[in-house]
Structure 1
Amino acid sequence: MSLEVQVKNPIIPLDYPDPDVIRVDHTYYMVSTTMHFMPGCEILRSYDLVNWEHAAFVYHKLDSTPAQRLEDGLNIYGKGMWAATIRYHKGKFYLVFATNDTRKTYLYTAEKVEGPWEKSEIKGFYHDSSLLFDDDDRVYLVYGNRDVRLVELESDLSKPKENGINRIIVSDRDNPNLGYEGAHFYKINKKYYLFLIRSLPDRWMRVEGCFVSDSLEGEFVGGDIFIDDRNYCGQGVAQGGIVDTPDGDWYAILFQDHGAVGRIPILLPIKWKDDFPVFGIDGKVPADFTTKSMRPDYIYQPLVGSDNFRTAYVNQYGLAPKWQFNHEPVKSDYRINHEQGYFEITTNKLVNNLLQAPNTLTQRMLFPNCAAEVTINAGQLNDGDITGFSAFQGAYGFVGITKDNGKYYLIMRTKPLDNLNMQSFDENQSVEVEWERFKIAEPIVTFRIEADLWEMKDEVRFLYQKNNQFIQVGPKHKVAFKLDHFTGCRFALFNYSTQEKGGSARFSQFEYYS
């Protein structure tokens, strides 16, 4: 089997933003932002930089705050963990990230990527940080937005070192759009390299920057080094890690916005000229290039896919790693029947909308289009319960079943976009709209969602099965990536109560189509 692997960008057509990547011997590891989803801080594994599979979740819960558990009307949508840095030093893995809900910086360490991961904190809040172990065993973080700072840490990484280096090394204060952030910091051939993301000042477009210095006390010189949208909707390619191969070749994994489906990893080659990195070829992500595989016969496990819920997984939540909950789940309120093949959610509180529904189970949507089906048994709902299948984002839509005065109804609802401004952190304030409702004789229905995500069309359709045919219910719905959730649209299974807690819904035969 050939060692060469053809690169097809995007290398992962899924929402894996803010990538950082390392190589340990003959294995590459990549970590990505998972925001509010649990389990969180997912690490992927590859042997060729092109094909990737799940390796580990670093945590199954963080601090179990009311917001992280969807309690008291609180949530952490668009918050949670952001932009982790992963490093391997003297036989140990290190992961550092900050969360915008607790305003803390977390340090996780492990001897194996599969864990167990030991949790601690670094005193302070370090946005988009990057960790560097220097040759003299001194350790540093680079972090920040607009003013990008370098801080030296104590040897145990617990806090800034007293009288250690603490200085601004790059500033982009006057940028009316996004100023420099997303640090990735390296020491290569005795020089210090800092990679950053920002927007062009004259228009919204992400670009990659690089600054270099001969010493940590010296001036960091550089600027924007890569401006390319791959001819895709004007969306720039930027922010991510760089890594070398055993043969000494270099690559970068950066992300590119793709609309509602999220921010997707892009691989590009790096050459070095006069000790400065040159990304891509002729300033572009090349359409045709190859990498080498260190295990050419390896079969990768898919990152998304179908599930009959009959396989028992030995992990904290008993589910395949392709699934994540919308927030920290309540384990006593869901169960998996492997013998009969279903996932069941039982409600334990009253909520008034989908976004506050605990134990909502999600999978990423696949670019450029995808579909999924699931069968829902709503026979154990109480009056006022709503269960269904959702295109899950701030402007969500769903098709499902509700019970009213002892009768079952098929419903389709959306929470329409209130505006298309991606840069808004504000929660979508639109009123949920019910487009269709009709009585059904039996509370067992197979539903389907189809998503068209090519060139940011970002439309989803909701369907139900009748007489072995799928029939659209309600209108097409527009979804969108915005900072209120800061994540790509997902398929989601949910059940919540509005009048009486204790109702149950069962989900089976989840089928994923690309």
Structure 2
Amino acid sequence: MKPLFLSVLPLALGATTFTNPVLWQDYPDVDVFRVNSTYYYSSSTFAYSPGAPVLTSPDLVNWTPVTHSVPTLNFGPRYNLNGSGSAYVKGIWASTLRYRASTDSFIWMGCVESSKTYIWSSPAPRNTSDSNSWKWTSQGTNPACYYDCGLLIDDDDTLYISYGNPRISVAQLSRDGTRQVKTQTVYDPGSGTTFEGSRLYKINGTYYIFATRPADAEYVLKSTTNSPFGPYTAKPLVNRISGPLSSAGFSHQGGVVDTPDGRWYYVAFMDSYPGGRIPVVAPLKWTSDGWPEVVTDSKGAWAREYPLPVPNPSIAAGPGPEGTDLFPGPALGPQWEWNHNPDNSKWKANSGLTLQTADVTTDLFAARNTLTQRILGPKSAGTFRIDASKMRDGDRAGAVLFRDRSAYIGLWKDGSSAKIVLVNNLTLAQSSWTTSSKGSVAATGPTLTATDDVWLRIEADITPAFGSNTERTATFSYSSDGKTFTKLGTASLANSWQYFTGYRFGVFNHATKDLGGEIKVKSFTMQLVK
């Protein structure tokens, strides 16, 4: 059974234009392609699990998460957060996903921790929008690290992959991708310049590599021969182009994709902290000698509004990010990700999400089974309805604003009663990504003695403030009936980019004394607020 997720789509029926960003959520390191009438989008997740989410769209504008290419992070013990340290800011960076017609399957590849490249695949499901239809399995590893890679499955089914930093290389792979047949550096941007985030394409018989100059430009490398190994010449596609949002970074690092009628689009992201990196779309035009150019507005900027790429799609769009999840079970919806690989023996979904305590710790960053979801911008509220009647003495549970600087509104169980608290300034040190502060109680609410449900709400402002000293705020409140909420306090949101991932709503439950307690999350609702 698919999780119930009611939603509101971002476009009105009959719309002929769309507005950037197309999805105001943190989906960075775009890899995008089309199979028939369906567009696919793959993104980074770092240490969050499952990893490498896949979204689908009928029109390049309405995007819906449908699966994860990496259901379990099989990268080592610290990705389990079970005493071997943590993997925050490690894990899945810019990876690649493609459909392979010869095997009717999808293949994902990604280098982890500059070590080796992991490979996962799934047979093409009959219903791509059904998360249960995807069957991802590990296909082993390639001993080479294809950093920030882009996979091309050529016309003859040969696998090529572009990769590298600061120079761009191309490798030919064995049929299953686990061995390197040949590799060659194909472009050196020169001293003092770095290219990365490369994507390799074959368009009208010509090989192209799209690569970013972080974090403000995208370049196009065009092969001068009929070979993926070049040589290549380069031209900027976008270079510090303004728009479409203020107080955000430059649109860059992404991929290109065509429509069935032969029009091309560039899908990139903007650094939009504290919310993360969010996708934007622009049409491409082509010069007579085969170079793509981004269509800009009258001021030469990335336009806020463009005509719809597919005005009347042949397939319906999936649900948008607003709505309520009742956790009907047994699986979680593809919009959810744990802070690391979870302890699957300590949770279940069945008419609500039961979270048993999985760790005895006073450090939230070290606690397993914190479940997170990307915040919807520019401002939204995340509300968890929680049955806390089975918490035990010393247990701590609640709703968290999760990032390297976190805050939460939660329940601290002491004896037979639980008090509502606001805890802020939980912090990871940027140098090591280990806990530097476990936080402190900033405010205290009422003590609960009954077994009634409690609603915990976080209202977060993730309007871009990138590169400024402005810190957005979040408001924390609670309710005993789900209708009338009492504000407990606020917290500021960090604008720094070094953690890469943007802020998320999350729910947690861990012990500080003994295991055995649990909470039941009866629902989660995310809705935009003005």
TM-score, with structure 2 as normaliser: 0.86
Moved more, 98-107 or 239-248: 98-107
2:6 maps to none
The change in CA–CA distance for 1:88 and 1:432 in structure 2 (over 3 A counts) is same
Contact 1:146–1:181 (CA<8 Å) still a contact in 2? Answer: yes
Partner-residue secondary structure (3-state), 2:180: coil
Moved more, 130-139 or 29-38: 130-139
CA distance in 1, matches of 2:329, 2:166: 47
The change in CA–CA distance for 1:417 and 1:328 in structure 2 (over 3 A counts) is closer
- Write the letter of the residue equivalent to 1:292: V
CA distance in 2, matches of 1:417, 1:76: 15
CA distance in 1, matches of 2:360, 2:428: 26
Question: How many pairs are equivalent?
Answer: 492
State the 1:155 CA deviation. 3.1
Match for 1:305 among 295, 318, 323? 323
CA distance in 2, matches of 1:477, 1:395: 9
Contact 1:110–1:116 (CA<8 Å) still a contact in 2? Answer: yes
Residues 1:51 and 2:51 are matched in the alignment: no
Residues 1:434 and 2:441 are matched in the alignment: yes
2:85 maps to 74
Residues 1:40 and 2:55 are matched in the alignment: no
CA distance in 1, matches of 2:199, 2:119: 17
Partner-residue secondary structure (3-state), 1:415: strand
CA distance in 2, matches of 1:466, 1:43: 37
Match for 1:471 among 475, 482, 486? 486
1:289 maps to 306
Residues 1:141 and 2:151 are matched in the alignment: no
Contact 2:45–2:91 (CA<8 Å) still a contact in 1? Answer: yes
1:111 maps to 123
Contact 1:460–1:479 (CA<8 Å) still a contact in 2? Answer: no
CA displacement, residues 235-282 of structure 1 (integer Å, 9 cap, x when unaligned): 110111101111110001111111121111101000001210101226
Match for 1:343 among 337, 353, 366? 353
Match for 1:319 among 332, 336, 341? 332
Partner-residue secondary structure (3-state), 1:328: coil
How many percent identity over aligned positions?
A: 30
Moved more, 454-463 or 487-496: 454-463
CA distance in 2, matches of 1:433, 1:366: 27
Residues 1:511 and 2:520 are matched in the alignment: no
Contact 1:146–1:173 (CA<8 Å) still a contact in 2? Answer: no
Partner-residue secondary structure (3-state), 1:429: strand
CA distance in 1, matches of 2:66, 2:523: 25
1:454 maps to 463
1:202 maps to none
The change in CA–CA distance for 1:78 and 1:173 in structure 2 (over 3 A counts) is farther
TM-score, with structure 1 as normaliser: 0.88
The change in CA–CA distance for 1:425 and 1:182 in structure 2 (over 3 A counts) is farther
The change in CA–CA distance for 1:428 and 1:225 in structure 2 (over 3 A counts) is farther
CA displacement, residues 262-318 of structure 1 (integer Å, 9 cap, x when unaligned): 111101000001210101226422233222246357242224531223x335xxxx1
Contact 1:96–1:105 (CA<8 Å) still a contact in 2? Answer: no
Residues 1:247 and 2:261 are matched in the alignment: yes
1:272 maps to 286
Moved more, 1-10 or 363-372: 1-10
Residues 1:445 and 2:459 are matched in the alignment: no
CA displacement, residues 47-86 of structure 1 (integer Å, 9 cap, x when unaligned): 1111112232223213273212111152222122222222
Match for 2:178 among 158, 170, 175? 158
Residues 1:171 and 2:189 are matched in the alignment: yes
Partner-residue secondary structure (3-state), 1:476: strand
| Structure 1 vs Structure 2 CA RMSD | 2.6
Moved more, 71-80 or 491-500: 71-80
Moved more, 71-80 or 265-274: 71-80
- Write the letter of the residue equivalent to 2:99: Y
- Write the letter of the residue equivalent to 1:372: G
Query: Tell me, which stretches of 5 or more residues in structure 1 are unaligned?
Result: 200-204
State the 1:425 CA deviation. 6.8
Contact 1:393–1:480 (CA<8 Å) still a contact in 2? Answer: no
Moved more, 494-503 or 82-91: 82-91
Match for 1:412 among 395, 401, 422? 422
